[in-house]
Structure 1
Amino acid sequence: MAGPTTTRRGAGRKPAGASARPVRRPPAPRAPRAPRRHRFGRRPLLLLAGVLLVVTGVLWLLYGSAWLRVDRVTVSGTRVLRPQEVTEVAAVRLGRPLAALDTDAVAGRLSRELPRVATVEVDREWPGTVALRVTERKPVLLLRKDDRYTEVDAGGVRFATSRQAPAGVPVLELTARARGIAARRFSADRLTREAVRVAGDLPAPVARATRTVRLASYDSITLELAGGRTVVWGSGENGGAKARALTALMKAAPGAAHFDVSAPTAPAVARS
């Protein structure tokens, strides 16, 4: 058999001096990625469950349990009003959850139905007490009509009427007889407010000793004190200065019967 030919022997051989080139293989196809799954840890879920449990427990304790319910109502600060009267008007239901109490509604009822109440604080005192702290209006002047007396506070509020005059509160005597323009300018209501203003400016010892505030005109106000003493006050202006001048005069001349502080920078005193 004939041997291999020259051509066949050289087949598949690279010529001398030729550089060797790496054989490039196509990249292997990548396996598709599995979709990511969002995983939540147990800690946030446990925390959320704990918060819900606490909130539920607090709500039950405040509104569902029998421990924090209204079991009594206390009243303080009353001087003329009876505590029982205040409690009845407040209308706080015993046995209801203390947290559900509408304090504004209770305060509104007391201010609306008891004019003598100037301010009131409604407080929850845990575990089961509702505290009503009342401040009553203080009369500084009495308006007399027939056989009845109306109490007026320093703000001009008329809050109570009775047949018996409260002790230590002066009575207003309005003797002004203005006509025409003066009557329209200085009406009875305005003159009354001026008298209330004067009564509110009086020093405490003088206020207790004053029996009558006589008002003849806007700038002619006279006080009648116990023991027959009189004070010419003038108008209601400069009330603070007049009160200080009157206090100084009474200390300097305790036996005097007549005082004039209508001009507080030049007060006068007379013994008879």
Structure 2
Amino acid sequence: MVGSTTAERGARRQESPGPPPARRLRPPRLRTMIIFAVALALLGAGGSWLLYGSKLLRVERVTVSGTRVLTSAQVREAADVPLGSPLISVDTDGIEARLRQKMPRIDAVEVVRSWPRGIGLKVTERTPVLLVEKGAEFVEVDDEGVRFATVSEASKGVPLLELTVSRPGSAAASHRRFGEHRLVREAVRVADALPAAIARDTRIVKVRSYDNISLELSGDRTVAWGSGEKGRAKARTLAALMKAAPAARHFDVSVPTAPASSGS
């Protein structure tokens, strides 16, 4: 059997179909582009109208959470949220600034949009750790040394702060060097370091100078604390000392590695 000739093989190669030609991407027609652009414009206009012009997304209510001493009505009044305004345009930073300015008791506040028609005010109030007597009233001091409110009745379980640094000598020099605010901060450090059981029994935190702070406890007991430094170590030492000498009336933890107690 005679094989195919060279001419026949060449003819077959010419007859066999090759790969399909690549399709060329046609540019979008002008009409399609115009329709797409118009659709986008309508969609944007509709969205803008829904957010700013529609009555569906306007502020109708203001909710308040997290208050303890303040009332929800007080917070809403101070916030002055513009009812009836488009929810999207409400100035949440401005509301937060007003609340902080008008209500020093507020430590932190979060203003959130509650879609579709509400504003939420999440409030965190300052907690007093010390009280300063002011005539017949009391000024509350928080854990940052901020004097944030004046109340007619002392908060239960919160000790009084006594600053007795007006006398000449080292106490007055300490006052000039550190300033009253720094001395208050040191008193706050001491109050914050106290174990809960001892804190409940603390009636007065007395500051004579930066390194001369003492406590007056219930039952005519006193504690020489020293400065606000090494507060946790002093607190542990005081708790152990009071347990070892329950009848003692005077404790000294100003040097926590060498504590002392006396009296009965």
| TM-score interval, smaller chain | 0.7 to 0.9
1:203 to 1:51, Cα distance in 2 relative to 1, 3 A: farther
Deviations 1:13-40 (A, max 9, x none): xxxxxxxxxxxxxxxxxxxxxxxxx995
Q: Counterpart in 2 of 1:142? A: 131
Q: Of 191, 195, 205, which residue of structure 2 is paired with 1:213?
A: 205
For the Cα contact (< 8 Å) 2:171–2:208, is it kept in 1?
A: no
Instruction: Describe the superposition over 1:158-180 as per-residue Cα deviations: whole angstroms up to 9, x where unpaired.
Output: 11112221111111122335426
* Bigger radius of gyration among the two: 1
Matches within 5 A, 1:223-262: 223-250=215-242, 257-262=249-254
Greater shift, 142-151 or 252-261, is seen at: 252-261
Question: Do residues 174 (structure 1) and 174 (structure 2) align?
Answer: no
Shift of 1:269: 4.6
Write the distance in 1 (CA, Å) between the matches of 2:219 and 2:29: 91
Structure 2 Cα separation of the partners of residues 159 and 178 of structure 1: 27
1:163 to 138, 143, 152: 152
Task: Figure out how many residues of one structure are paired with residues of the other and give that number.
Answer: 235
Q: Tell me which residue corresponds to 1:25.
A: none
Give the secondary structure class of the aligned counterpart of 1:124.
Answer: strand
Residue 186 (structure 2) aligns with: 194
SS in 1 for 2:219: helix
Q: 2:81 aligns with which of 92, 105, 109?
A: 92
Distance change (3 Å), C-alpha of 1:157 and 1:45: same
Change (3 A) 1:238 1:51: same
Residue 71 (str. 1) matches residue 63 (str. 2): no
Q: TM-score of the superposition, structure 2-length normalised?
A: 0.79
Give me the CA root mean square deviation. Answer: 2.5
1:44–1:266 Cα change, 3 Å: farther
For 1:117, the aligned partner's letter is: I
In structure 2, the residue matched to 1:57 is: 46
Alignment check: 8 A CA contact 2:216 2:222 kept: yes
Deviation at 1:71, TM superposition (A): 1.4
Percent pairwise identity? 56
> Residues 217, 52 of structure 1: CA spacing in aligned structure 2 closer, same or farther, 3 A cutoff?
same
**Match status 1:123 vs 2:123:** no
- Taking the TM superposition and a 5 Å limit, the aligned residue runs for 1:25-44 are 40-44=29-33
Unpaired runs of at least 5, structure 2:
1-26
8 Å contact from structure 2 (residues 106, 126) kept in 1: yes
CA separation of 1:185 and 1:257: change in aligned 2, threshold 3 A? closer
Matched, 1:48 2:37: yes
Matched AA of 1:204: A
Residue 84 of structure 1 aligns with an amino acid whose one-letter code is A
Gaps of 5+ in 1: 1-37
1:6-17 alignment runs, 5 A limit? none
**TM-score under structure 1 normalisation?**
0.77
